[in-house]
Each structure stands twice: as C-alpha cells, then as structure tokens.
Structure 1
Amino acid sequence: MSLDFLRPLEEPFFEMISEYSESSLSCFVSIYTKKHGFPKLEGVSIAVLGVQDGRGSVNNDTTGYGVDAIRAHFYKLYPGNWSLSIADLGNIPQGETVSDTYFAVKEVIAYLVKKNILPIILGGGQDLTYANYRAYDCLEQLVNVVSVDSKFDLGTIDSPLNSNSFLSKIVMEEPANLFNYSNIGYQTFFNSQNEIDLLHSLYFDAYRLGEVKDLKVVEPIMRDADIVSIDIGAVRMSEAPGNGNATPNGFYGDEICAISRYAGISDKVTSFGIYEFNNRLDKNGQTAHLIAQMIWYFIEGYSFRSKDYPYCTKENYIKFIVPHEDEDMVFYKSNKSGRWWLEIYSRGDNKYKRHALIPCTYKDYLDAIAQKRPERWYKALKKIN
C-alpha cells in the first residue's frame, strides 16, 4: 500500500504537543503516532506529510530534518472557523537513494489526490516538486505548476535532478503532462536572459518580484494551478533565515502568507508544498513559525473555497462578449464569487478541455474592451492550438 512509506511522529514530540491548549490545532488534527495508529482518512480534506530527505537540495545541507520544528509551531496555533477534517500522516523517511524517496513521495501523493485529499508537503529540497508532478501521471490529465521562487530552477538537460534543475526535467521528460508553468517572484539577477527568453518562448508565465507586490495579481495565477511549490528562499533573509540560499530581497512574511491563502482558496489546487527549510540555520524558530502560519493561511483559504469552477455550469456565470476584428472574446463572471474567466476556443485535442476557461481579472476584461488582447489569452491560445 502506498501509505506504508509513511512513519509516525515520535512519541516524545507527540507528548510535547499534547500539552498544548485543548483549543489549539494539536487537538483539531488527527495525528499519526505509534500510540494512536494511522488516522482514518474517511472524510479527511487535507493531509499534512513531511519528507525527510534533502539530498537533492543544492547548498542547503540538512534540509528535510526540521519538519517537526514546523509542526511544533503549527500545533500551537488555533484553528479558524473551519468545517473540515485534517490529518497529519507523519513523515516519509529518507530512502536508500534519492530515487527511492521520489518514488515514495510520488506514490503517497498519487494515492491522496485520487482520494480527493489535498496533501500539504513539508519537505527537503524543492526537487521534490518533480516527484509531486509525477504523482499526477496516474490522473492522465494536463496540469499547471506554480512555483514561488526567486529562480526558475531550469538547469540544463544534462544536469542531474536537484533543486536547481527540476523544472527542465518536468518540461522535457515523458510522459509530458505539463500544460503551464508559472513563476511568482523571480529576481532577474538570479536568472540568465537565456532562461527568461526560454520561458517566454514556451509561453510560460514569469512574474518579477516587483510585479507581484500588488498581491491581487497572484489570485488568478493561483486559481489556475494544480500544483503549488514554494521555495522558502523566496522570502527575504530577515524574515526567513532558515535557508542555506536565503538572500536580502524577497517576499515579506505577511506577503507569503497572503500568497498561501490565495493558493488555498483556489478550487483547482490539489497539492501544496513548502520546501528548502533548514532548521539548523533557523534563528529562534523564526522560519519554522512563519511556515506554520503559511500552512494556517493555506487551510484558511481552503475553508473559503467558492467551488465556482470547474464545478458549476455556465448558467452560474454572467457571459460577456467583447467584439474583436478577427475573433470575439468571451468572458464569464461568477455569480457566486465575482471572479472572472476568459474562454479559449480549442481547435485541437480534447485533452485541453479543462484549460478552455482560464482565470483572469476585471482589468483583462477592460483591456479587451479597449481592443487589447490580454497576454494570458495569447499564451493559452498558443498552447492549446
């Protein structure tokens, strides 16, 4: 069974958190321990799991062994007004080889996703995003990956799979399930112009750190994501010192929490990972505490999901047709949430059906009225047709 890869939390740690307030998350979440056994998954919406392997992380030795430090802060927090069930499934230990760990991560995530349980992965290197992506092979559908990172992590075709090269493996290796990749928060001086040009040539999306300081830009990006991967190195060093590659610039703590909430509120996101935390470098538990709050905000967002796409029919939208000289543009506004979508007419394979409605903003609609084609429409059209 896929879940056999998981190991329970150590009893001393569980005894420590059992002393927290009875109103805290320590009593709200079903936790896998030797004493209490594996949690029942029936009715569970979200599952937390740790991955204790950081061998694929570049310049960030020992990452992957601090996930319980995150839990120590997370379980002190109090739940919101959440009517959902959460389980902590313990940790996937380091395999004999990194490939063994990737296989275990892939199998566990695939099992949970097929059961409609959203995994929150707390792991070592961001290379685990590759294993997360491969878990979707069994679903036989194209997926969108969103990475919050100061770098693209493209590497080269010949580079070994690690935290600096996982994206090229996702893009190039078969089976090719990737429809779109979006980067949020890249810093230009960490990425070569060749890499930036390559992403544009593939019609992928990349948003500089300064562009997404207006966090409203992030919402439609997250709304179209299946997999969200956050490198904690995207947060500035002063806010998150527990990372071997931390740098002076990046997101502030409140900003990364808001981004996590946007990921949670997206109806489409089915897995969420936070990587590259290094407990050895953390100061006073500052980074662990921040990640705990990011998880909290993700769950808070999840509890407010509107379920207005792709669950509803078009009768639940207001339809807007904007005439254009060559082809009209069709927008939909949700009666439920007020969010906007733009329809793409696919002339190609039916496998693109679930990507025919792409999230957009009211500004995109206004741009269309002004006869300006939204960039997201152009990129999606190129990929579909």
Structure 2
Amino acid sequence: MEFDFLSPVSDNILDEVTHLNAQTIGAQLKLHTSEHGLPDLDKVNVAIFGVRENRRAVREDSTPDFESLRRQLYSLYPGNWRLNLADLGDIQEGDAVEDTYYAVSKLCADLIKQDIIPVILGGSQDLIYAQYRAYDHLDQMVNLVNIDSKFDLGDADKPISNQSFVGKIVVDKPYNLFNYSTIGYQTYFNSQEEIELMERLFFEAYRLGEVTSNIGHMEPIMRNANLVGLDIRSIDSASANSDYFSSPNGFNGREICALSRYAGISDKVSSFGVYEYQNEMNKLTDTLVAQIIWYFIEGVNYRTNENTISAKKDFIKYQVPIDDDILVFFKSPVSGRWWIEIPFLNSVNNKLKRHTLLPCSEEDYLEACNQVIPERWYKAKRKNEV
C-alpha cells in the first residue's frame, strides 16, 4: 500500500515506545516509521491515523498535532483482545482542503476494502465529509451517526465548514446517504429551521437528556450505522476542557465511552472518527480521547458477526399485527438483540436492500404488542417510499 501523503509517527514518540511496558498498546502496535516506512497490514483489524487539517473550522485554529494524544493512547493496556492494530501516522494538510479530503477518502476506502477499520483522529469536523466520500465506490447506501451537540446541517449553498458538512453530504452527488442520526443534540445550539429540516428528511435526532437517561437505547442506533463521527465538543467541560470550547452540559466520560463501545461492537460500523481535536487541550482531555478510542477497539473485539444472512436464519421471528400492518421482529438467540423488518419496495434502488432489517430494542417489540408503532420503523419505511 503506497500513500505518499502519510507522514510517519514522530521520532519522539518512537523513542518513548521503547521504554513502555511490553504489554501496552504502544509496544504492540504496528507503526509507520521514518526508518521502515508503512507497516505490513496483513491481518491488521484496526488502523489509526491522524488528519492535521483545520482550515474549514468556523474558528480556524492551529494545525492539530496528535503527539500528546498518542502518548496517552500508547500507554494504555489492551483488554483480552484478539485484534492486530496499526498506527499509520498522519495525513498532512494538502495544498488545498480538497486535497486533504481526497487523501482521507482514498485511505479510508482502501482500508475498508481490506476489512480494516479506520480510526480517524481529526481536526475540524468537516472531515466527516471526506470519511463519508470513502463509500462512493463501495456500492451501498450508508447510515451516518454523529455524536454531537449540533446537527451541522448548515447552508448547503455556502462553502463547507465544520458546522455545515451534513448539508453537503445530503445534496452532493453521488447520493449514498440513507439515514443520518445525531446523538446528544442540545436544542439551544440548533435553529428551529434545522430541527424542522431533520423532521422533514426523516432523520433521527436524540436530545442529550433523552440519551443520558438511558444510554443503552443508543445501542440499536449504533448497530445500524456504517460510519460514526464523534465531536469532542459534545463532552461537558468537566470532562473535556480547552480554550476552544467550554460547555457545562454534554456527555461525561463514562457516557461518551459507552457510546464509543456501542459503535465498536456494531457489526456494520466500518469507520470511526474523533474530531475537533485542538492543540490547547489538556492532559485530561488527551486521556479521555485515548480512552474513547480504547473503548471503540474493545467493542470491535467483541463483535458477534450477526449482520449476515446465515446468522439471520437462526433468529427467532415474531409477528405483531397493528392496524393494517404486520410488524415482523427478529431476536438473536445468541446476543438477545432485536431487529424489525422494513417493507422493501421493488421500485427502490437496489442499494437499499441491505437496510430491510432495522436494529431495535426489546422495548420496541413490547410497545408494538401494545399497538404503538416504533417511530424509527415509521421513518425508515417513509424513506423507502420517497
């Protein structure tokens, strides 16, 4: 694999790796070094890389440097994992921002085709647009989950920024987006126009209080995602603080790590990005971001590979009549997780066939038994009909 735009992990970090305990993540990673070049990715499951890009931030800051973050990540001990990990170094700023986007999408697409999950350490969050464009040639519609206090829809007619990238994803060709979900939005950070647009597009939005009251309800949302982005600014200032942002409300450390683990354990999530990393973040924030990545990898290790046709054959099927519909639920006898079937229309693009089973919770099934149609089923059905 040749990617000239990747720079190696710094020699400062490599020197420190030699002094780490042999059981730490840093001592076990396959590393991109100036001496040996890119590592052999054979049998690698997760590949980490940084993107030193910040030019499309509304408040542009210095180019992010991930050295202190790597220092915290490398010092952690892995769980009882059966995974091989690599750190490919950093993508530097291109001559134009579009050059950086191209490098990110090209690298992500190449890794995904090799069944390697890219974990992106990013500057400004508009890089999710590049992460999304990696799926252009993978012949599938995708579901994007954004852990964020804002929707980031913005004005699609204006230049892309870290507060308007979703609008560009919606309107730019090729159209790969099937569903967009925001986890942890805070109403006072979003205009009523954007909130109403989310409804009209049948996208999913979960308020911060709704999520934190029962974090487990987000597991089916993550189980249906193909790519996940996490805005560090969705974390409260007690857990992650810097001069760049500071909000009293947001996810705490335990909650954000739980969401990250749900993303990792999802059989469908094939790329994961952590964005809005800034140089002035303190050691506490670096430690938390390192643990967020740790929990994502922990989730990947415990995947059950139930997102397959052969696995579905063993599912227990339940049929629930509601009005003129019959809702069909499936339950895995292995994990105890639930899915609901979405009616598929023959006139719809064949890319959508992969979305006929929608992850749900047991609570959705019980509510259906009480003649309450799950809202997520309704929205997914409407998107199939549009």
Q: TM-score range by the shorter chain?
A: over 0.9
Partner of 2:252: 252
Letter in 2 for 1:329: L
Partner of 2:284: 286
Partner of 1:332: 330
Task: Give the aligned CA root-mean-square deviation in angstroms.
Answer: 1.2
Deviation at 1:58, TM superposition (A): 2.1
Partner of 1:267: 267
Partner of 1:355: 355
Q: Is the 8 A contact 1:7 1:91 kept in 2?
A: yes
Q: Is the 8 A contact 1:58 1:164 kept in 2?
A: yes
Partner of 1:342: 340
The 1-side partners of 2:31 and 2:312 are apart by 40
Unpaired segments ≥5 residues, structure 1: none
The 2-side partners of 1:307 and 1:314 are apart by 10
Partner of 2:107: 108
Partner of 2:136: 137
After superposition, what is the alpha-carbon deviation per residue over 1:72-91, rounded to whole angstroms, capped at 9, x for unaligned? 00000001000111111110
Secondary structure of 1:39's match? coil
From 294, 297, 317, the counterpart of 2:295: 297
Deviation at 1:203, TM superposition (A): 0.4
The TM-score normalised by the length of structure 2 is 0.97
Partner of 2:73: 74
The 1-side partners of 2:101 and 2:36 are apart by 28
Letter in 2 for 1:147: N
Identity %: 49
Deviation at 1:314, TM superposition (A): 2.7
Please identify, of 205-214 and 304-313, the stretch whose mean Cα deviation from structure 2 is larger: 304-313
Secondary structure of 1:331's match? strand
Q: 1:10 to 1:314 in 2, by over 3 A?
A: closer
Q: Is the 8 A contact 2:45 2:83 kept in 1?
A: yes
Please identify, of 143-152 and 310-319, the stretch whose mean Cα deviation from structure 2 is larger: 310-319
After superposition, what is the alpha-carbon deviation per residue over 1:131-187, rounded to whole angstroms, capped at 9, x for unaligned? 000110010210000000000111112221110110000011111100000000000
Q: Is the 8 A contact 2:264 2:300 kept in 1?
A: yes
Q: Is the 8 A contact 2:17 2:27 kept in 1?
A: no
Q: Is the 8 A contact 2:50 2:90 kept in 1?
A: yes
1:185 aligns with 2:184: yes
Partner of 2:217: 217
Secondary structure of 2:169's match? helix
Unpaired segments ≥5 residues, structure 2: none
Letter in 2 for 1:165: S
The 2-side partners of 1:16 and 1:241 are apart by 26
1:320 aligns with 2:318: yes
The 1-side partners of 2:312 and 2:127 are apart by 37
Superposed counterparts of 1:142-221, under 5 Å: 142-213=141-212, 214-221=214-221
The TM-score normalised by the length of structure 1 is 0.97
The 2-side partners of 1:124 and 1:228 are apart by 15
Letter in 1 for 2:367: D
Please identify, of 223-232 and 13-22, the stretch whose mean Cα deviation from structure 2 is larger: 13-22
Letter in 2 for 1:72: R
Letter in 1 for 2:175: A
The 2-side partners of 1:242 and 1:222 are apart by 28
The 1-side partners of 2:252 and 2:189 are apart by 19
Partner of 1:4: 4
Secondary structure of 1:90's match? strand
